[in-house]
Amino acid sequence: MQIDYSKIITDLIQRNVEKIFKGVYKKGEEKYQELIIHTRIAFEKYLKSAVNKFSKTKSIIDKHKPVYIYDFYVDIDVKCGEDIISTEKVDQLLEYSKKITIFGTGGIGKSTLFKHLFLNTIRTTDLIPIFLELKYINDKNINDKEYNLEDFIYESLVNLNFSLEKELFIKSLYSGNYIIFFDAFDELNSDKKSFVHKEIERITNKYGDNYYLVSSRHNEMLERGWDNFYDFNVIPLDKEKAIQLITNLNYHEDIKNKFLFQLREGDLFDTHSSFCCNPLLLTLMLLTYEEYAEIPAKLHLFYEKAFNTLYAQHDASKGSFTREKRLEKKGLASDDFENILSIFSAYSYLDSKNTFTRNQLMEYISEAKEEAKEEIGIGVEFNSDDFKIDLTEAVCILIQDGINYRYQHRSFQEYFTALYTCKLGDEARQEFLMELFEEQPDSINEDTVFDMMFDMGRSKLERDFLIPTLNELKSLIINPDEAVMEFKFLDLIGTKLSFIIDARMVEDQVIHNVRARLVYSKPLKTKNSRYRYLVEFINAKYNDYFKHIPQSDLITTSDKRKIGKEMYERVAGEGAYPDTTSTFQRTLNMNTFTKEDVKDVVLIDTVMIGKLRNALWVLEMLKEKYANKKTRKRRSKIK
């Protein structure tokens, strides 16, 4: 049953309108009541428009009509440290902090959670919620020094019928009566993330009495960057919540009941827990259940079956009715459609685009069509508009969202990008991967493209990407002195040496405790930061190979403090201790650091240095592996 928000919104604004504008309007002013009424109407119109937009969504199950989110929504829990918190009511989160970051993997339901929290704020609090989709900053000119996050917030409100003057709204931000939801930081283009990161930090300090929530896939810029934010992680669905989600979905009752039986009574949840605990993948499992008896363990095989199901699927609301595909009727086979879609996905992924205007969508389709003719040899001429219609109405990989188009979920774009890359010739693949490494380096760790490519075509990825990039890294840091080489790596990825000095009184005497740590540059601060992503990817993928390699010895906390104190005295000067707690940072520099400093810096983070050593060992292992393969091929030819 849908909730009527109209009266709730009216009451919420009525209770808060004078509180919000305390200090903005003065009661003695002429037309005071007129201004208050104008303000109340502006907020009511915004919230009613926002509720209409964010209370409904299209899904893979309900592809052609927006569905009320509470028809399928399941409350999920989040974790902060050892604390597990229910998100049923927004107050349960806000008790922890006014500034919260919520992290979760792709498809775990972060945006749906934020929509629930937005609606719950209206129903259960006196706060005014503002919902912001950060992906729309990708289209803004942030090089304009006058543009800031307040501009974006105000534009987002105006787009949903907000009519209050900008100057008055910005003044109202000091009131502390807002909760602002920044949804999907991870969907920002690489060149926009640093700007938004700094802007969020600025406005949360400037308007510190409001509440702020940010959602994202795991992102080091956020995890390391905001000391005053509490970090929460979305907890994957347990068996009970997975069953509840499937029960809520509007799908063929007989198929759904059979699937639910396997979840409840069978071993489906246990054997495929990594899929069942993710709402998106669980939903895709339901879609593929009728056609495929087995669920593949590897993600790319799972998406392959999901695409085949979506391509051939009957309309859930019309029984056996299969929606006609225009291009199939004109002779374009399903594998050709898939090839064009993979090109479209790869090109848009490289440009960090997963939401498109109609013109942008048509441009990408035309570009994909041209490459398909040249590279894949598709002989069928087709109309780009027909492809758009099939993509959005028949197969539903993309859905229309207002005047724009977007992927059902980014993970589809990632799968098709990986598929495209694996189908390329060696030279073209290496060129594309190197461009991706240059333009989207954080995709190595934050998205699933490289993960799926590793499973789909491991040898191709090793030959055409890992060996060249690791060779490139080695050439930049090579030095006969191992400590110098490791120092150069830390310098390359933008590392700073940070000293935290705590001053406290003990028996009328000031005692200084010094902790030294290495702070790695925020992503894309320098283009060489990408080599850290590369090293971390290698360590994740080849973890089993390192068991027999001597690892760096971790030094104790007391050893680190001893090293830190000695280094601080060398760098800042003996006796240069502050009277209170402070932080002192210094950028690594081979020319100004002594040999002793170099060795000490390397000791401070033996974990990262261990990862570097592992990566360089993998390089030699891969070079030997493919040298042996070439030798075997030559010998077989001679025979």
At 356, phi and psi to the nearest 5? -135, 145
Contact by Cβ (8 Å): 12, 87: no
Mean pLDDT, the chain, rounded, equals 84
pLDDT at 432 > cutoff 70: yes
Q: Which position has the token pair 């569905």?
A: 67
Residue 362 amino acid letter: M
Residue 21 amino acid letter: F
Please report which confidence band the pLDDT of residue 462 belongs to, taking 50, 70 and 90 as the band edges.
very high
The percentage of residues in the chain with a pLDDT greater than 70, rounded to a whole number, is 88
Query: How far is residue 479 from each of residues 483, 531, 579, 587, 623, measured CA to CA in Å?
Result: 9, 17, 41, 20, 20
Give the residue-averaged pLDDT of 53-67: 81
For 571-604, the pLDDT digits (tens) are 777 777 777 777 888 888 888 888 998 999 988 8
For 12-22, the pLDDT digits (tens) are 999 988 877 76
Check residue 179 and give its pLDDT: 96
Contact by Cβ (8 Å): 462, 604: no
For 217-257, the pLDDT digits (tens) are 887 667 666 778 899 999 999 999 999 999 999 888 888 89
Check residue 471 and give its pLDDT: 96
For 91-104, the pLDDT digits (tens) are 999 999 999 999 98
192-201, 371-380, 449-458, 594-603 — which is least confidently predicted?
Answer: 371-380
Distance CA 450, CA 415 (A): 10
pLDDT at 550 > cutoff 70: no
pLDDT at 49 > cutoff 70: yes
Question: Which parts of 383-457 fold into alpha helices (H)?
Answer: 384-389, 410-423, 426-439, 443-446, 449-456
pLDDT at 525 > cutoff 50: no
Check residue 293 and give its pLDDT: 58
Please report which confidence band the pLDDT of residue 344 belongs to, taking 50, 70 and 90 as the band edges.
very high
For 374-385, the pLDDT digits (tens) are 765 555 567 788
Question: Which parts of 425-548 fold into alpha helices (H)?
Answer: 426-439, 443-446, 449-456, 458-461, 467-477, 482-492, 530-541
Token digits of residue 610: 């261990």
Contact by Cβ (8 Å): 527, 586: no
How many C-beta atoms surround the C-beta of residue 102 within 10 A?
A: 24
Distance CA 595, CA 240 (A): 59
Distance CA 447, CA 416 (A): 13
pLDDT at 552 > cutoff 60: no
Check residue 635 and give its pLDDT: 45
Give the residue-averaged pLDDT of 161-166: 93
Distance CA 341, CA 327 (A): 13
For 479-499, the pLDDT digits (tens) are 999 999 999 999 999 888 888
Token digits of residue 139: 């289209």
Token digits of residue 631: 């030798």
At 423, phi and psi to the nearest 5? -85, -15
Check residue 323 and give its pLDDT: 46
Whether this prediction's pTM lies above 0.85 is answered by no
Check residue 223 and give its pLDDT: 64
52-61, 229-238, 316-325 — which is least confidently predicted?
Answer: 316-325
Contact by Cβ (8 Å): 107, 409: yes
Check residue 241 and give its pLDDT: 94
Distance CA 356, CA 370 (A): 19
- Taking each helix axis as running N to C, give the angle between helix 299-312 and helix 334-350, from 0 to 180 degrees, rounded to the nearest 10: 120
Check residue 637 and give its pLDDT: 47
How do the residues of the chain divide into helix, strand and coil, expressed in percent and rounded to 5? Answer: 60, 15, 30
Contact by Cβ (8 Å): 393, 399: no
For 618-637, the pLDDT digits (tens) are 999 999 999 877 655 544 44
